[in-house]
Amino acid sequence: MRGLASILVAITGVLVLAAGVSSALVKNAQASEAPASKTEELEAKFRAFIESWMAKLRERERHNIAHIQWKPGGRGVVGEYVGYDTTNYQVAGIRNVESGTPIGRVVYMELKKRVSGASEVDALAQTPEIVERTEVTEIFRYERGSWVY
């Protein structure tokens, strides 16, 4: 009987120890999941924000085209405007997730484009020539639940 009691005490001790270890493991897993899920949430929101940012750049390019300052050229008129490569851009990782205000970056190309033709309408019908490329890095902060510029 004494041997059975010793076994029961040992099993109880093992169960208590296992419960403590299990509880600690669950707490550690939850703690490690929290930053990852927060980071994932911020990244998802940032990607959506960048999509809207690229849409704004496309709108700005349309505005720039509508306001070209035309000049006489060899075969009619020449005009230049600023455009953007909104299909090839790089979203850099988000920084300062836990230690302050989260910061996100996007890198894209700003393009100086030239069109020419016999008339303004003819020039706009042509494929623009890229005469200058400038790499642009935009930095945004996360504030009050949304990305801002």
Q: Where are the domains of the chain?
A: 2-148
How far apart, in whole angstroms, are the C-alpha atoms of residue 44 and residue 42? 5
Amino acid letter for position 138: E
Question: Phi, psi at residue 38, to the nearest 5°?
Answer: -65, -45
Beta strands in the chain (DSSP E): 71-73, 76-95, 103-117, 129-143, 146-148
| Mean pLDDT split into 10-residue runs, the chain, 149 residues | 49 49 48 62 92 97 97 92 96 84 95 96 96 97 89
Neighbours of 111 (CB within 10 A): 17
Please report the pLDDT score of residue 59 as a whole number. 98
Cα-Cα-Cα-Cα torsion 101, 89, 81, 130, nearest 10 degrees, comes to 150
Please report the pLDDT score of residue 100 as a whole number. 81
How far apart, in whole angstroms, are the C-alpha atoms of residue 93 and residue 143? 17
Please report the pLDDT score of residue 4 as a whole number. 46
Please report the pLDDT score of residue 25 as a whole number. 46
Closest to 140 measured CA to CA, from 97, 106, 89 = 106
> In the numeric block, which tokens belong to residue 134?
């400038």
Please report the pLDDT score of residue 20 as a whole number. 53
Please report the pLDDT score of residue 36 as a whole number. 59
